[in-house]
């Protein structure tokens, strides 16, 4: 019964979204399968990162410093908490898909509805399933956008791209720890064993 209510609520959310924009609809079966696989991998990545914060060693700590500006155990705990909340937020996540190029983002999260969802743009389906700017990394990016920070603000992502994320972590670690791209690139670097570009 609860699942039926959630599905009805989600369909209501779709109708509300369609009233706002005629370009976003339920995903095709093929696109939904790709999105679900990206979400599943994103959840594995989040679990892997959380375990890393619980005892990941020198390589883990170096990557956390490089990508998120983590300088001490308080920073590490804050980052770990964000990933843990992203994992919880991911449970039951729904997807909608853009049907034309007027939605020019890779993805966007909408939590201002009873059932939160991620809207996927056409560009999402052109991403690889690993490496920097991957499909699962993009899902994590949106999950961190959807989290409330101190109950009032979304995680911000005013700096996009690996170069900007690295620069931000070095010059302004506190801002890096509230930038969705930094969370995405750290977890991709750690999970896929990537060095900075």
Predicted pLDDT at 116: 77
Cα gap 165→186, rounded to integer Å: 9
Predicted pLDDT at 190: 93
Predicted pLDDT at 10: 38
Cα gap 74→76, rounded to integer Å: 5
Query: 153-156: which pairs have CB atoms within 8 A and are 24 or more residues apart?
Result: 155/82, 155/179, 155/180, 155/183, 156/180
Q: Are 98 and 122 in contact (CB under 8 A)?
A: yes
What would the pLDDT profile of 145-193 be if each residue is shown by its tens digit? 877 433 434 444 467 899 999 999 999 998 899 889 999 999 999 999 9
Q: Are 96 and 25 in contact (CB under 8 A)?
A: yes
Q: What is the pTM of this model?
A: 0.83
Give me the sign of the Cα torsion angle 187, 135, 19, 28.
Answer: negative
Query: How does strand 117-120 pair with strand 94-98?
Result: parallel
The stretches in the chain having pLDDT less than 70 are 1-24, 56-59, 99-101, 111-115, 148-158
């Amino acid at each position: 019964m609860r699942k039926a209510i959630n599905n009805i609520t989600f369909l209501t959310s779709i109708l509300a979204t369609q009233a706002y924009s005629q370009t976003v609809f339920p995903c095709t079966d093929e696109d939904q399968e790709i999105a679900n696989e990206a979400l599943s991998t994103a959840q594995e990545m989040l679990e892997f990162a959380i375990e890393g914060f619980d005892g990941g060693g020198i390589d883990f700590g170096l990557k956390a410093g490089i990508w998120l500006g983590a300088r001490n155990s308080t920073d590490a705990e804050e980052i770990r908490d964000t990933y843990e909340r992203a994992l919880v937020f991911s449970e039951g996540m729904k997807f909608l898909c853009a049907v034309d190029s007027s939605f020019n983002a890779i993805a966007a999260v909408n939590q201002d509805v009873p059932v939160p969802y991620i809207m996927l743009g056409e560009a999402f389906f052109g991403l690889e399933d690993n490496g920097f700017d991957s499909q699962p990394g993009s899902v994590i990016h949106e999950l961190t956008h959807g989290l409330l920070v101190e109950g009032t603000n979304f995680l911000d992502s005013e700096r996009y791209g690996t170069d900007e994320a690295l620069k931000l972590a070095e010059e302004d670690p506190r801002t890096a720890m509230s930038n969705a791209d930094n969370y995405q690139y750290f977890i991709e670097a750690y999970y896929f064993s990537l060095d900075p570009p």
